[in-house]
């Protein structure tokens, strides 16, 4: 049986990680799907982190203009928190696909990311 190929849309580093996991472990098809979901969530989280680093906290006003955020949550922060939550929920073997933010209970990763006493990158 040949090893599955990493999805083409993953970043190079994430695709390398994906390949190493599929090479080092015997995975069932549903495990490969969860691995792919975790890899995609990781890449999206990294993209959100890069956007925050480049632009700071911003939001789109009602006319589509970019404005600096004062006390509002930016879409990049929300995306980062959301993808971290979805990646962490894939590792818990939850039978419900809506586990995490959509299920009403926020995961620990999302709470930790919003705490002001948590240093960036400390999670």
3-state secondary structure at position 79: helix
| pLDDT tens digit sequence for 46-70 | 999 998 888 888 888 899 888 888 7
Reported as a pLDDT band with limits 50, 70 and 90, residue 97 is very low
Question: Is the pLDDT reported for residue 114 higher than 80?
Answer: no
Query: How confident is the model over 32-49, as a mean pLDDT?
Result: 96
Residues in the chain: 123
The continuous run of DSSP H or E covering 33 comes out as: helix 29-55
Question: Is the pLDDT reported for residue 94 higher than 50?
Answer: no
Domain ranges of the chain: 12-90+99-114
Query: How confident is the model over 32-39, as a mean pLDDT?
Result: 96
| Spatial separation of the C-alpha atoms in residues 99 and 105, rounded to whole Å | 8
Alpha-helical segments (H) within 56-116: 75-90, 108-114
| Spatial separation of the C-alpha atoms in residues 71 and 62, rounded to whole Å | 17
Query: How confident is the model over 21-39, as a mean pLDDT?
Result: 95
């Amino acid at each position: 049986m040949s090893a599955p190929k990493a999805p083409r849309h993953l970043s190079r580093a994430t695709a390398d990680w994906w390949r190493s996991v599929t090479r080092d472990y015997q995975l069932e098809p549903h495990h490969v799907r969860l691995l792919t979901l975790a890899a995609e969530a990781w890449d999206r989280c990294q993209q959100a982190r890069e956007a925050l680093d480049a632009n700071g906290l911003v939001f789109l006003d009602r006319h589509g203009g970019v404005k600096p955020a004062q006390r509002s949550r930016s879409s990049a922060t929300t995306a980062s928190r959301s993808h971290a939550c979805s990646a962490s929920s894939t590792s818990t073997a939850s039978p419900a696909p809506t586990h995490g933010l959509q299920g009403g209970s926020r995961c620990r990763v999302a709470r930790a990311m919003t705490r002001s006493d948590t240093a960036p990158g400390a999670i």
